[in-house]
Chain A
Amino acid sequence: MTATTSAQAEASTPPGAPPADAMPAIAPPTPGRPSTVVPAVDQPSRAAESRPRVRPGGLRDTDWMALVGALTSSAGLTWLLFERFAPFTGLVGWVFVAWTLFIGVYAVLVSLDENSQAVRDRAAAVIIHSLAFLVLIALVFAMTYVLSRGVDALKHLNFLSQDMSVTLPTDPLDKGGILHGAVATVEQIAICLVITVPLGLTCAVFLNEIPGGYTRFVRTIVEAMTALPSVVAGLFIFSTYILTFGRPKSGFAAAMALSIMMLPIIIRAADVVLRLVPGNLREASYALGSGRWRTVWHVVLPTARSGLATAIILGTARGIGETSPVLLTAGLSPQVNANPLDGPQPSLPLLAFNFYGYPQESMHTRAFGAAAVLLTLVLGLFITARTIGGRAAGDLSARQRRRAAGRSTADARRFIARARGQLSIGDVPAGGGGVGLLMHRMRSGEAPPAAPPSVSPPASAPPSYAQPQIPSTSEEPER
């Protein structure tokens, strides 16, 4: 506000022009003819032009000066505090104190040439940026820390090609590995997908396609179950499959526990994706006379395909890393067990957890190695999910668009061929051109050349009847 008023004050009394001249600068009315009288405002605007133009998004000199100044001053103040005045120690404390001081100093610096609203705006921007940055740093740091410590184990190739059956915890890293864990993880996730993908997708389709009170109830339960503690899923399989049925701990039991944990995740993610399928696509399908089943199979699922794939892959990524359901149900063994139905089959996260419990340093390194392999798997799945998917329903890549266009061309060809089958050979318009020409004309919005002499109205009829309109086909090519 202060800036604007001062600008106005400055503008109304330009230094060059005498004020008395500026005020009554009104266009002289032409005698005899009524005209609109416009107060001349262009004269004072000369003064406004002499000021630098203010761009709303631009960075002014004072902005970055305040930033740099605040940074330097807070770093210096923190150094003084830590080295000279107070007995503070530790990197985390240093960063925290420096950050707090930075915000304070920055606010003071900004307040020198801005009003209080701008000061609050700047301070909020700095705080929000630094919080987001902190989260990013923590994520990157946790991942690189685990990966870098895991590299020590992964340097030995036997880590991926051997199991722990003949390895003692005290053995160096060039003996033993996590092959049994890798086999178990792959098998358990495969079983898990066989269970969860059909069930989860069908349930998501149910939630979207069949509205009603029952659907709402199921959705509420599924949403509440999304955050079901994973240890509870493990406990459930432990109490049913292992205690009630008396079966031993096995990879299959672990896969079932994982399935119970993954099922709500996949259902919910797929539900969100299916909800984004445009309603008018569905309505168009119903309007063309297809039933529910055909609509779901040919319209809804293909439209949401990439999103559904993403949902499944992200669910898999969550399932791969879960430890606690596996802890209660898979059991521990040091050798490769390829049979998921019988005998203990510890997966990668369980191995990492188990190795962590040993006091030996080499076992800790193995734990980091297993966690690094797991993390790489999750990262790989994640990148796959983002590459193939991540598009909203109906948002097609260039290749998909071409393919869809090809399909609808083929359909149009089919319709025309079918229609042509009804015409006798002689009915085809003279000059031929056949289907291609027909299609071209239809696509370019022309009336179809369906005016063969035998079906066209007699010449005595008004000319407007000569070219009958076919509403649906002539509008279709607009896409």
Chain B
Amino acid sequence: MEVPPEAPPTPSPTAVPEAWQIPDERPRVRPGDSPGTGDRIFLGLSIGSGTLVLVIMGLVGAFLGYRAFEALSDAGFDFLTVQAWEPSTHHFGIAAVLFGTVLIGLTAVIVAVPLAIGTALYISEYAPRRLQRTFVSLVDLMAAVPSVVYGLWGAFFLQGHVIDISRFVSKYFGWFPPFSVNDTDGRVDPDNPLSSPTVYTSSTFIAGLVVGMMITPIVSSIMREAFMQAPPGEREGAYALGATRWGMIRAVVLPYGRGGMIGGTMLGLGRALGETIAVYMIISPVFTIQWHVLQNGAISVSSLIALRYGESQGLALSALFAAGFALFLMTLVVNFVASTIVARSRSGAGSEA
């Protein structure tokens, strides 16, 4: 381009005209420079808050362990094998309590998982698009209903209506040991009209039903998230190959959601193990290993704590802390495994746009 030498310098096409330029008095910031004061405070605050949360969570475990130490050193290895709970005579252990906790948790999971799969599949695959958000909100609401509400409902309403099922199952499936119901005199005869229905109340089964209802929403929402992440390309591919909707679900949605299903189930189990109030309101405590799920009498760690904390002193209190510590460790392991599985199944979800 020929510019006459006497002409003023032409601006290049992309240059901002002088009049539009905002003079910048600030020193130029290069990315490698040390952050400003605001950023430094922000960094300190946020890392500090993360550490504080970590410390609080660590303290929970540490204090429980510290309080439990007295009882654990008193009982030694017996703590894991003894069924009775008599700290005043130095005879206590969590064998029965832990077994009861796991049994209630498993019953709850067996109740919750089919319901959760059905709900999650319905919301992600069958529900009309307009209503999808409403259903998601309803499931979330179900998770927020206080446990004391479920407890009252279970104790006053469900109990009376479940006895029929319990009696029926124990009558026709009593040959399967967990379903048989025993009295102090031996096996209860379900055909005897004079037999008291109270043997069927306050059982592991009823507590498991209520807790199962309580964990259904959390299990369901994790599964739904996993199902909804099944890639649309694969879904359409399955349809294009002539699959029915169920065929598509089996071939695409369920395999993609497997991690979410397993992880959600385990997270639900973790919740069920720790549930206190609803279980406490329904069961009548026993301190032997009670594997007749339909029979009156059950126990869990958290309800044991709620039951005995008021009257306990010294060693008895320490024993309760030991039980709480055991529960803490158990749920921690279950939740940790579960969240690892869920996190792996949603790999890539954390990446940014």
Contacts and interface: CB of A to CB of B under 8 A. Distances in A.
Interface of A: 88-93, 117-118, 120-121, 124-125, 127-132, 134-136, 138-139, 142-143, 145-146, 149, 199, 202-203, 205-207, 209-210, 214-215, 217-218, 220-233, 235-236, 238-240, 243, 260, 263-264, 267, 275, 278-280, 282, 289, 291-294, 296, 314, 317-318, 320-324, 327-328, 349, 352-353, 356, 364, 367-368, 371, 374-375, 378-379, 381-382, 386, 390, 418-419, 422-423, 427, 448, 450, 452, 455, 457-458, 460-461, 464-465, 468-471
B13 A229 contact: no
Interface in B49-71: 49-54, 56-57, 59-60, 63-64, 66-67
Given A121-B245, A419-B20, A468-B15, A317 B144 contact: yes
B274 interface: yes
Contacts, number: 322
Contact of B145 (A294, A321, A419): A321
Contact of A239 (B16, B29, B281, B321): B321
29 contacts: A90-B161, A120-B247, A128-B126, A132-B135, A145-B157, A149-B156, A199-B49, A203-B46, A210-B46, A226-B335, A227-B274, A228-B274, A230-B274, A231-B324, A232-B274, A293-B39, A317-B144, A318-B144, A320-B146, A321-B145, A323-B276, A349-B147, A352-B148, A375-B146, A422-B22, A455-B18, A455-B19, A458-B8, A468-B11
User: What are the 9 tightest A-B residue pairs by CB atom distance, in nearest-first order?
Assistant: A131-B118, A321-B146, A229-B274, A279-B352, A90-B164, A132-B122, A206-B46, A121-B244, A293-B42
A321 B148 contact: yes
A283 B103 CA distance: 51
A142 B149 contact: yes
B176 interface: no
Main secondary structure of the interface of B (DSSP, over half): helix
Contacts of A469: 13-14
Contacts of B21: 422
A128 B122 contact: yes
B115 A458 contact: no
Contact of A202 (B45, B63, B332): B45
Contacts of B213: 138, 142
B277 A324 contact: yes
A304 to B, nearest CB: 14
A224 B61 CA distance: 13
B5 interface: no
Contacts of B270: 227
A324 B304 CA distance: 12
B141 interface: yes
Contacts of B149: 142-143, 146, 321, 371, 374-375
B19 A423 contact: yes
Contacts of B353: 278-280
Interface of B: 4, 7-8, 10-11, 13-23, 29, 35-36, 38-39, 41-43, 45-47, 49-54, 56-57, 59-60, 63-64, 66-67, 114-115, 117-119, 121-123, 125-126, 133, 135, 137-153, 155-157, 161-162, 164-165, 168, 213, 216, 220, 244-247, 249, 267, 270-271, 273-277, 281, 302, 305-306, 309, 320-321, 324, 327-328, 331-332, 335-336, 339, 343, 349-350, 352-353
Contacts of A280: 353
Contacts of A225: 57, 335
Given A209-B46, A349-B148, A352-B152, A227 B271 contact: yes
Given A291-B36, A321-B147, A457 B10 contact: yes
A146 B327 contact: no
B152 A419 contact: no
Given A224-B335, A232-B331, A349-B146, 12 more contacts: A90-B161, A90-B168, A132-B126, A135-B119, A143-B145, A223-B339, A228-B60, A231-B324, A260-B56, A314-B140, A379-B141, A382-B137
A144 B31 CA distance: 60
A206 B50 contact: yes
B183 to A, nearest CB: 22
A461 B153 contact: no
A6 to B, nearest CB: 16
B249 A124 contact: yes
Nearest to B142: A139
Contacts of B245: 121, 124-125
A227 to B, nearest CB: 4
Contacts of A240: 59, 63
Contacts of A323: 146-148, 276-277
A263 B153 contact: no
Contacts of A232: 60, 64, 274, 324, 327-328, 331
B145 A129 contact: no
Contact of A375 (B145, B165, B267): B145
Contacts of B274: 227-232
B19 A427 contact: yes
Contacts of B146: 320-323, 349, 371, 374-375, 378
B152 A92 contact: no
Contacts of A465: 10-11, 13
B17 A455 contact: yes
B319 to A, nearest CB: 12
A196 to B, nearest CB: 10
Contacts of B29: 289
A172 B205 CA distance: 35
Contacts of B162: 92
A379 B213 CA distance: 18
Nearest to B67: A239
B44 to A, nearest CB: 11
Contact of B148 (A89, A318, A374): A374
A374 B145 CA distance: 9
B41 A356 contact: no
A226 B152 CA distance: 25
